[in-house]
Amino acid sequence: MIRMMFRLVPTLLAPSACLLLAGAAMAQQPIAIGAIQGNGERSPRVGETVVVEGVVTAVHAGKRAGVFLQDAGDGDPATSDAIFVEAEGLAGGIPSIGTPLRLSGTIVEADAGRGTLTLLRSVQILLVEARRKTMKAGPVVRLKAPPADWEPYEGMRVEITAPLTVAGTHRLTREGMLFAHFGEGRLRTPTEAFAPGPEAKALATDNARRLLRLDDGSDQDRPASVWYLPGDPPRTGSRLTRVEGVVDHWGGAYRLQLTRAPKVDPADRPKPPKVGGDVRIAALNLENLFNGDGAGGGFPTPRGARTPAELEAQLGRLTTTIHGLDADVVALMEVENDGYGPDSAIAQLVAALNRDGADWRYIDAGRGPGSDQIRVGLIHRASRATPVGAPATLEDDLFGTRSRPPLAQSFRAGDGPVFTVVANHFKSKGCGDASGADADQKDGQACWNAARTESARRLDAWLRSDPMRSGSDLSVIVGDLNAHRMEDPVRLLVDAGWRDAFDGHRGEPPYSYVFDNQTGRLDHALLSPALAKRLVDAAEWHTNADEPDSRGYQEAPEQRGPWRSSDHDPLVLGFRLRKP
């Protein structure tokens, strides 16, 4: 509980103390905090020195140390009845929660990132607990939905009476901050649901309105523990109830500085998906599988494991995931581009898969594909899928400099028809040196959308030329396209005739990635029309995207199982591709 958290903070004075600290200021009558806050974003009395009185409702520790002080209210719902008081000048230490105070200070609008926070600076305490009966904080504000504007509640005690849903955990380890949102379901990435345009922008606005930051009352970097989550960090999609705190405006957004630990109803971890069919094809981004020199040295690696122990943990999780998918062919992304010898990353992954007698093999493209540090790859179970012909890859001025070159390989399962699997990894959304058409157009598609869209066009043209010389019309494009479903690259391929394997998906909308507290798909499976007719089912296994970063193989290498083996969720498809 937060009271225990601040027990080490020095208490200002004994509970029964009543001190006259500044005779001249004592004669000044206190002003309602609501009159200081005003009904706008800025105080109408900035620069004035005032006297206020109220009760300490929360304490903020760290560099931005201070207390939140709330009075009984001025009766105006448009004005906040609480204010942040900087600790500097609080002689004797920071008062504990529940302490009634009268103090004087100067009204300041402090830069809070985007917007400002009204606070009292250069504070002098006048009375401590002298008027216990009259110095009271107003009632806790109860909210069952996000307000149209948080400004009237700045600094006030708030209780959320409706359940919240955990939306993101990416700042929990670094800052003790958890993201949650009002309402059921998930915050969908706008361009997952709508094409760039007014509808996508409206969804982005609504997502921002529903989102709430829950903080630990400290600006400490990488806290040893997060006091309001005594157990394991929750998965995205978990539910929170009994959420209470004070509204703070800092870091460019409103947040709730929690004053007690909420009740957590954790989201379940899903079982491996069962998709049916007689041939199963999967895809998985490995999140930088690098194996050093392949002989126990070469650590830390450029992009992946920093130690042999981390590599062993990464391989353990990835092999558990791949075995759980029960696939016959798997397309891989973010494999170290270090050749195909026995010491290569892909060879070591296959060796790990075969430790218990399995018969996995990898497709040897000879070199690359591409010259980037990472590449795509293909593996298959020799007893279930037999390669037909040589692999093919596309390398040009775009595939190899921006998007990773695709790798295509044809297979046959038993006496069934030949089918082709194409592994892909398009250019990421990170801006880097993006310029011109590749710069962020502020339409929700981020940087390099033009490069990804051109990658999609060239990929479609290449596959129409039958680079495998197989004559088969059964093809699947799988992999990390770094574009959501309604963004230009994916829509181009769908408009060209490729069928989204997840169209008509039952249940909640599909997703494979959580970014900026929103869920969507970067990982896709697009089928030729002939192959779409043989599709039985498609599923994602949500082993990764919902798991906190703190469970990753670099943060928790001792943990086992498929959980957080990557930052992307794998997908698996079931087809009818064997002759009866």
Residue 520 and residue 567 in one domain? yes
pLDDT at 468: 95
**With pLDDT > 90 as the criterion, what percentage of the chain qualifies?**
84
Residue 288 and residue 391 in one domain? yes
* CA gap 258, 86 in Å, rounded: 18
Place of tokens 């529903």: 210
Residue 394 and residue 440 in one domain? yes
Which CATH number belongs to the domain containing residue 479 in this structure? Answer: 3.60.10.10
Q: Residue 333: is its pLDDT beyond 70?
A: yes
| Residue 425 is assigned to a structural domain of this protein | yes
Q: Sign of the C-alpha dihedral, residues 408, 465, 398, 190?
A: negative
Query: Which residues make Cβ contacts (< 8 Å) with residue 153, sequence separation at least 6?
Result: 80, 141, 147, 247
> Crossing angle, helix 308-325 and helix 345-353, to 10 degrees?
60
Place of tokens 């309402």: 183
Residue 261 and residue 296 in one domain? no
Q: Using pLDDT thresholds of 50, 70 and 90, give the confidence band for residue 63.
A: confident
CA distances for 553 relative to 159, 299, 560, angstroms: 36, 15, 9
Which residue, 486, 520, 482, 514, is CA-closest to 500? 486
| Residue 214 is assigned to a structural domain of this protein | yes
Q: Please give the average per-residue pLDDT across 534-542, as a whole number.
A: 98
pLDDT at 3: 35
Higher pLDDT, 510 or 560: 510
Residue 115 and residue 51 in one domain? yes
Q: Residue 406: is its pLDDT beyond 50?
A: yes
pLDDT at 220: 87
Q: pTM for this one? A: 0.92
Query: Which residues make Cβ contacts (< 8 Å) with residue 494, sequence separation at least 6?
Result: 500, 526
Lowest mean pLDDT among 229-233, 242-246, 287-291, 491-495: 229-233
Higher pLDDT, 96 or 193: 193
Which CATH number belongs to the domain containing residue 116 in this structure? Answer: 2.40.50.140
Q: Using pLDDT thresholds of 50, 70 and 90, give the confidence band for residue 62.
A: confident
pLDDT in tens, 427-457: 999 999 999 999 999 999 999 999 999 999 9
Q: Residue 529: is its pLDDT beyond 50?
A: yes
* CA gap 540, 273 in Å, rounded: 7
* CA gap 288, 332 in Å, rounded: 10
Is residue 235 within 8 Å of 166, Cβ to Cβ?
yes
| Residue 289 is assigned to a structural domain of this protein | yes
Q: Residue 461: is its pLDDT beyond 90?
A: yes
pLDDT at 90: 74
What is the C-alpha R_g of the chain? 29
| Residue 228 is assigned to a structural domain of this protein | yes
Q: Is 559 exposed, middle or buried (0-12, 13-18, 19+ CB in 10 A)?
A: middle
Q: Residue 563: is its pLDDT beyond 90?
A: yes
Which residue, 479, 477, 472, 417, is CA-closest to 278? 417
Place of tokens 């005594």: 230
| Residue 436 is assigned to a structural domain of this protein | yes
pLDDT at 473: 97
Q: Please give the average per-residue pLDDT across 487-516, as a whole number.
A: 95
pLDDT at 389: 97
Q: Which of 216, 234, 265 is the last residue of a domain?
A: 265
Q: Please give the average per-residue pLDDT across 384-392, as a whole number.
A: 98
| Residue 273 is assigned to a structural domain of this protein | no
| Residue 580 is assigned to a structural domain of this protein | no
pLDDT in tens, 281-327: 999 999 999 999 999 999 999 999 999 999 999 999 999 999 999 99
Q: Using pLDDT thresholds of 50, 70 and 90, give the confidence band for residue 14.
A: very low
Place of tokens 């903070």: 9
Residue 397 and residue 441 in one domain? yes
CA distances for 250 relative to 47, 119, 130, 408, angstroms: 20, 12, 32, 50
Q: Using pLDDT thresholds of 50, 70 and 90, give the confidence band for residue 579.
A: confident
Q: Using pLDDT thresholds of 50, 70 and 90, give the confidence band for residue 21.
A: very low
Residue 9 and residue 84 in one domain? yes
Place of tokens 């985007």: 114
Q: Using pLDDT thresholds of 50, 70 and 90, give the confidence band for residue 19.
A: very low
Residue 161 and residue 38 in one domain? no
Q: Using pLDDT thresholds of 50, 70 and 90, give the confidence band for residue 125.
A: confident
Q: Please give the average per-residue pLDDT across 229-258, as a whole number.
A: 95
Q: Which of 78, 112, 139 is the last residue of a domain?
A: 139
Supply 175's token pair. 């800052």
Domain that holds residue 42: 2-139
pLDDT at 408: 98
Q: Residue 354: is its pLDDT beyond 80?
A: yes
Which CATH number belongs to the domain containing residue 171 in this structure? Answer: 2.40.50
pLDDT at 580: 66
pLDDT in tens, 130-187: 555 556 788 899 999 999 999 999 999 999 999 999 999 999 999 999 999 999 999 9
Q: Which of 265, 296, 312 is the last residue of a domain?
A: 265
| Residue 271 is assigned to a structural domain of this protein | no
Counted domains in the chain:
3
Residue 218 and residue 354 in one domain? no
Identity of residue 330: V
Residue 110 and residue 14 in one domain? yes
Q: Using pLDDT thresholds of 50, 70 and 90, give the confidence band for residue 22.
A: very low
Residue 298 and residue 257 in one domain? no
Which residue, 197, 254, 266, is CA-closest to 229? 266
Residue 213 and residue 295 in one domain? no
Q: Is 94 exposed, middle or buried (0-12, 13-18, 19+ CB in 10 A)?
A: buried
Q: Residue 345: is its pLDDT beyond 90?
A: yes
Residues in the chain: 580
